[in-house]
Amino acid sequence: MATQILLKNIDVPGLTDIHVYKGLGGYSALEKALKNFTPDQVTEEVKKSGLRGRGGAGFPTGMKWGFIDKQSEKPRYLVCNYDESEPGTFKDRYIGELNPHQLIEGMIIGSYALGAKSAYIYIRGELFYVIKIIEKAIQEAYKNGLLGNNILGSDYSLDLYCHPGAGAYICGEETALLESLEGKRGNPRIKPPFPAIVGLYDCPTVVNNVETIAALPWIITNGSAAYSAIGIGNSKGTKLISACGHINKPGIYEIELGLPVEEFIYSDEYCGGIINGNKLKAVVAGGSSVPILPAELILKTAAGEPRLMSYESLAEGGFKTGTMMGSGGFIVMDHTTCIVKNLLTFARFYRHESCGQCSPCREGTSWMEKILMRIEGGQGTMKDIDLLVNIAKHVEGNTICPLGDAAAWPVASAILHFREEFEEHVKLQKCPF
């Protein structure tokens, strides 16, 4: 059984109540941090743990904290990115819905490390029921002296706010999130300057994902060495995986990084194999924005080694034969899946969610959707397939934020690995599925 850091007590009845959470040792990590650690020591502990951002980019958390401008006289902020909306990803809402105090405790610890006096949880507006749970938990924390002035009798004070977004996928990009939090249209900013220097209200800011922040109490309680002992290589600790698609046991799983992909898909402890005993066709390993891989490449690398659930192993081989851990949205497809139709669904999403600020993304996502509709509808030509590849190349790397890449990679990888399926659509002038 894998070590459970985030889901250990998730099934305890009444866990959303502060007294139940504290009865299980909750907020003891915060007390330890305030009494035994300076802010810089907390940052150093997180650095040594090897914790990486769990929102998709996988950037080392402690290193990101180290970039914040502590020389500035301006206020500093910690912002939690709870705008979870990557297709195939549904892990973060689980934490807020069932264990909100773990997130709040992590927010206070992180804010203490950064020297922030105000912090924000920016949450997707559609998660209205989760917002109510988190707001109630925040009020409980205030009443118990865990937020507000002189937390637990220390000289540290913090105000925490839960701010609902309006349901734009683009606001999952940290600078677009900050624009939205300031009351503006959620358009990504050009970087540099980075948020650690010029962030919320032009002040030094760190933006971290829900899962990243929720891991902090365990790290402070058990120590960085205990956390870094879990995992493999530079992929330390555990990872929440949202598993869905043609599997017997869809759901949210906490795995130790380094678990073989084959074991994750086929073992009874996790996905339980493919439904109806069908043949595995392809997997999108990290949410809709990462390259799709056929069965033979998701189970083994191009070198024939078992593919592991880790940042390094999934990316091995680069774009041609690898993919990304991303946000952990693990979508499994069996042999009955039409790759073209699946890709059209993704393309429609990215066309709809593009903010329109960059011409390559605004125009490219629209054209990719139109051409895929043509191919799936039986009116496509062979030239359309190469045209899709060409458009994806012109979108990738030519936009302010990664949404352009997120739209281009699924198109390019699907044609790279399943070109014959696109050609079959053209030859038959209909979808063969």
Considering the domain architecture, whether residues 36 and 87 belong to the same structural domain is answered as: yes
Q: Which two tokens stand for residue 164?
A: 């609902």
387 with 282, same domain: the answer is no
CA 381 to chain centre: 36
- Statement to judge: residues 185 and 287 lie in one domain: no
12 in a structural domain: no
Do 173 and 53 lie in a common domain?
yes
332 DSSP β-pair partners: 245, 283
| Edge-to-edge strands, sheet with 329-334 | 251-256, 238-245, 329-334, 280-284, 293-294
Residues 6+ apart with CB under 8 A from 373: 344
Question: Quick one: 308 and 387 in the same domain?
Answer: no
Number of domain units in the chain? 3
Evaluate if pTM is beyond 0.75.
Answer: yes
In a domain, 158, yes or no: yes
CATH number at residue 379: 1.20.1440.230
Instruction: For residue 389, give every residue at least 6 positions away whose Cβ sits within 8 Å of its Cβ, in sequence order, or none.
Output: 411, 412, 415
> What are the structure tokens assigned to 66, written together?
């180290």
Give me the long-range contacts of 354-358 (CB less than 8 A, separation at least 24). Answer: 354/170, 354/403, 354/407, 355/168, 355/170, 355/176, 355/185, 355/186, 355/187, 355/188, 355/403, 357/187, 357/188, 357/400, 358/398, 358/399, 358/400, 358/404
Q: What is the pLDDT along the chain (433 residues), one digit of tens a residue?
A: 789 999 999 999 999 999 999 999 999 999 999 999 999 999 999 999 999 999 888 899 999 999 999 899 999 999 999 999 999 999 999 999 999 999 999 999 999 999 999 999 999 999 999 999 999 999 999 999 999 999 999 999 999 999 999 989 999 999 999 999 999 999 999 999 999 999 999 999 999 999 999 999 999 999 999 999 999 999 999 999 999 999 999 999 999 999 999 999 999 999 999 999 999 999 999 999 999 999 999 999 988 999 999 999 999 998 889 999 999 999 999 999 999 999 999 999 999 999 999 999 999 999 999 999 999 999 999 999 999 999 999 999 999 999 999 999 999 999 999 999 999 999 999 999 9
The boundaries of the domain holding residue 124 are: 18-228
Cα distance between residue 123 and residue 209, in whole Å: 11
Classify residue 9: in a domain, yes or no: no
**Residue 42 within any structural domain of the chain:** yes
Q: Choose one of 267, 302, 334: the last residue of a domain.
A: 334
Domain with residue 104: its CATH number is 3.40.50.11540
Question: Taking Cα atoms as reference points, which of 322, 394, 315, 326 lies closest to residue 358?
Answer: 394
Classified as helix, coil or strand, 420 is helix
| C-alpha span between 316 and 332 (Å, rounded) | 20
